[in-house]
């Protein structure tokens, strides 16, 4: 018979349909308002800690839906957001010192589905609710920081080569090197040409002067690195506060979009994302008079700083280690019960710290806390953002012994400040300061409203198509409707399997896919009707209709798929979401509209002699 599939092909189609139903199921169970707890130190929670927190929640009298402890993290599920917020406040008060408390929405998927890797697809910010930030990277600060690094590196290189110089200063975006002889100048030009190829070297009017500036290509690379490094750091920070499926994307040359679906604690998120904080360790200058520095006569090689109580202090310009050499940081308490951050340095930082402490036992060393803040002020009716770099000495302690890789920093105001600083250092320092230039909050009610409207649009379009196909194509229309239902189920299953994020544009892509899937069946059915009009038998008309319509359907879908791939490759945000669902929908519709309907038609008409088709 012409219209019969081999057994293996029927089994393959049925297996795909069964898997589609199975992996689409998790999306029916919704989410539970949850409180996620993790250790704010490097030590993970033990079972005893989890039992203690579970007891606190149960003794509070607030109904607990479930309590899960896995891989050192705790997830407490509740029946409503009111209970969730009450428990979060309770745990912050009682367990805030060593515990990070985050609000989240956890999938309510049954355990047997999760055991086979069946999880619901993520919902985007427009559907689930959450916060949206647009961050702008301060590229000028990135260039300035690079100039500071080259300034210090050039001085170190000259000292290493034992070249005597009168001065090395920064001069309006350039580094000015004043030497003693022309022979020294020639030697410095050779050093810079070999070791500092990113710099443009220009001779000054004075025969012993050189000016070095960062080349245009090097500046582009510095800005590119700053953006990439900031995205990585922000992603690490988001992971620290426990957000599932965040969206962190580049926008333009100097902006980053951060979307945190499901996040309800917006103040905490803003505080962690927008803060640019790091530490510097410097030796204190006890040889010179600090009061002369206050009056504007700081000695060469030293800088004036202020402690938290406003007391002036002189510190060496040379930095021992900086925040980017810190590989781990955890908050806790020192022997006196004061808040502290326990630091672990990388190999380079440990080597520098070890050498410096060994040579300076008995001398004071200061810890400088550096933070960038941005204030928005109204000036003549316009919003103007003022950037400020805050540097304060949080601790000055005498070096009693040599230490290198691990040590502690004290002098912080509170345990919360210690936890935040540890988180920021652990996640990595930002390569350049960022400003939050836009902030939007999407409430869960608005998200649910979007979900309802999106589902309604899919259902209305779906039902109208079902009615049209059933009325116009009769039995064949009903077969197409069954395939269309499976088409939606498999699309949802694929999105869930790849853990894609569904947004409103993504729903639009699904709606468009429904129309395209029906279009393929319309082409097949019209071709079958045409073959019947030409006098062919029903069985022959079915076979020829599917065979001849296949090329047309394939051509139309491939061109649309190419467009979807281009949208995905060059688009961002909403465009990508639309492209993903459209691409998946096209491939699935080819399967259900051609193979799926053909299998059902074969079962209905393939094994019997028929005189007339219900089409």
Phi and psi, residue 606, nearest 5°: -70, -25
Among residues 161, 226, 225, which one has the least CA distance to residue 196?
161
Distances 491 to 23, 117, 380, 500, 578 between C-alpha atoms, Å = 10, 17, 54, 11, 13
Read off the tokens for 384: 């103007």
Q: Where in the chain is the domain with CATH 3.30.70.260?
A: 32-107
Q: Report the distance separating Cα 312 and Cα 309, nearest Å.
A: 9
Q: What is the dihedral of CA 314, 319, 325, 331, to 10 degrees?
A: -10
With tokens 């409180």, the residue in question is 35
CATH for 279-420+434-441 is: 3.30.1360.200
Q: Where in the chain is the domain with CATH 1.20.1640.10?
A: 7-26+443-605
**Superfamily (CATH) of domain 7-26+443-605:** Multidrug efflux transporter AcrB transmembrane domain (1.20.1640.10)
Phi and psi, residue 128, nearest 5°: -95, -20
Confidence of residue 243 (pLDDT cuts 50, 70, 90): low
What was the pLDDT predicted at 560? 86
Mean pLDDT of 508-522: 81
Lowest mean pLDDT among 59-68, 211-220, 385-394: 385-394
Burial class (CB in 10 A: 0-12, 13-18, 19+), 7: exposed
Distance of alpha carbon 73 from the chain centroid: 20
395: enclosing H helix or E strand: strand 382-398
What was the pLDDT predicted at 428? 59
The DSSP bridge partners found for residue 31 are 107
State the number of CA atoms in the 13 A half-sphere of 502 facing the CB. 27
| pLDDT tens digits for range 315-337 | 988 888 877 677 777 777 777 77
Q: Report the distance separating Cα 553 and Cα 165, nearest Å.
A: 77
Is the dihedral angle over the CA atoms 105, 106, 110, 116 positive or is it negative? Answer: positive
Lowest mean pLDDT among 70-84, 250-264, 382-396, 540-554: 382-396
| pLDDT tens digits for range 218-239 | 888 888 888 887 887 787 777 6
DSSP string, 202-233: EE-SSTTEEEEEE-HHHHHHHHHHHHHHHHHH
Pick the CATH number of 140-218 from 3.30.70, 2.60.200, 1.20.120, 3.30.750: 3.30.70
Q: In angstroms, what is the C-alpha Rg of the chain?
A: 33
Q: Report the distance separating Cα 102 and Cα 243, nearest Å.
A: 8
Among residues 309, 305, 251, which one has the least CA distance to residue 281?
305
- Give the fold, CATH level 3, of 32-107: Alpha-Beta Plaits (3.30.70)
Q: Where in the chain is the domain with CATH 3.30.1360.200?
A: 279-420+434-441
Q: Report the distance separating Cα 248 and Cα 454, nearest Å.
A: 24
DSSP 585: H
Q: What pTM did the predictor assign?
A: 0.60
HEC profile of 9-58: HHHHHHHHHHHHHHHHHHHHCCEEEEEEEEECCCCCCCHHHHHHHHHHHH
Please check whether residue 403 is in contact with residue 357, taking contact to mean a CB–CB distance below 8 angstroms: yes
Please check whether residue 306 is in contact with residue 351, taking contact to mean a CB–CB distance below 8 angstroms: no
606 pLDDT higher than 80: no
**Percent of the chain having pLDDT more than 90?**
1
Mean pLDDT of 518-542: 86
Q: Compare 10 and 238 and report the one with higher pLDDT.
A: 10
């Amino acid at each position: 018979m012409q219209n019969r599939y081999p057994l293996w092909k029927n089994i393959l189609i049925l297996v795909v349909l069964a898997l589609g139903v199975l992996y689409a199921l998790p999306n029916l169970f919704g989410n539970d308002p949850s409180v996620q707890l993790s250790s704010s130190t490097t030590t993970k929670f033990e079972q005893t800690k989890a039992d203690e927190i579970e007891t606190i929640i149960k003794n509070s009298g607030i109904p607990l839906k479930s309590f899960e402890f896995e891989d050192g993290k705790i997830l407490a599920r509740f029946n409503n957001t009111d209970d969730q917020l009450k428990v979060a406040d309770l745990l912050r008060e009682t367990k805030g010192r060593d515990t990070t408390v985050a609000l989240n929405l956890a999938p309510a998927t049954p355990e047997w589905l999760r055991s086979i890797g069946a999880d619901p697809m993520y919902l985007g910010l427009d559907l689930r609710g959450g916060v949206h930030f647009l961050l702008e990277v301060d590229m000028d600060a990135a260039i300035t920081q690079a100039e500071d690094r080259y300034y210090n590196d050039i001085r170190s290189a000259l000292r290493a080569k034992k070249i005597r110089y009168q001065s090395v200063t920064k001069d309006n975006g350039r580094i000015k090197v004043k030497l003693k002889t022309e022979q020294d100048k020639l030697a410095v030009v050779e050093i810079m040409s070999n070791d500092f190829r990113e710099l443009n070297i220009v001779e000054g009017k004075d025969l012993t002067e050189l000016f070095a500036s960062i080349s245009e290509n090097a500046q582009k690379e510095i800005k590119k690195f700053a953006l990439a490094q900031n995205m990585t750091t922000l992603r690490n920070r988001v992971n620290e506060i426990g957000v599932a499926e965040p969206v962190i994307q580049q926008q333009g040359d100097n902006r980053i979009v951060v979307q945190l679906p499901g996040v309800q604690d917006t103040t905490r998120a803003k505080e962690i994302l927008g803060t640019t904080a790091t530490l510097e360790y410097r030796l204190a200058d006890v040889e010179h008079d600090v009061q002369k520095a206050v009056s504007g006569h700081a000695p060469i090689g030293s800088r004036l700083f202020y402690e938290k109580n406003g007391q002036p202090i002189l510190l060496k310009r040379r930095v021992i280690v900086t925040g980017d050499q810190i590989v781990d940081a955890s908050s806790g308490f020192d022997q006196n019960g004061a808040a502290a951050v326990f630091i672990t340095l990388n190999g380079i930082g440990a080597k520098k710290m070890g050498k410096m402490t060994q040579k300076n036992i008995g001398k004071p060393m200061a810890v400088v806390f550096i933070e960038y803040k941005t204030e928005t002020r109204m000036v003549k009716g316009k919003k103007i953002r003022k950037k400020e770099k805050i540097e304060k000495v949080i601790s000055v302690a005498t070096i009693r012994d040599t230490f290198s890789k691990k040590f502690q920093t004290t002098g912080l105001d509170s345990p919360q400040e210690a936890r935040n600083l540890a988180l920021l250092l652990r996640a990595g320092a930002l390569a350049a300061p960022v400003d939050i230039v836009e902030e939007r909050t999407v409430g869960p009610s608005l998200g649910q409203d979007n979900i309802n409207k999106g589902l309604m649009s899919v259902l209305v379009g779906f039902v109208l198509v079902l009615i049209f196909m059933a009325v116009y194509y009769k039995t064949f229309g009903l077969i197409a409707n069954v395939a269309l239902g499976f088409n939606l189920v498999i699309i949802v299953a694929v999105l869930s399997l790849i853990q894609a994020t569904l947004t409103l544009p993504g729903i639009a892509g699904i709606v468009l896919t429904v129309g395209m899937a029906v279009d393929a069946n319309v082409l097949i059915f019209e071709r079958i009707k045409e073959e019947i009009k030409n006098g062919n038998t029903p069985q022959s008309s079915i076979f020829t209709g599917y065979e001849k319509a296949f090329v047309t359907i394939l051509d139309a879908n491939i061109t649309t798929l190419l467009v979807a791939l281009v949208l995905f490759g060059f688009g961002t945000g909403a465009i990508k979401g639309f492209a993903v669902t459209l691409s998946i929908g096209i491939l699935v519709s080819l399967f259900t509209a051609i193979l799926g309907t053909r299998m059902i038609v074969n079962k209905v008409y393939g094994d019997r002699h028929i005189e007339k088709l219900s089409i």
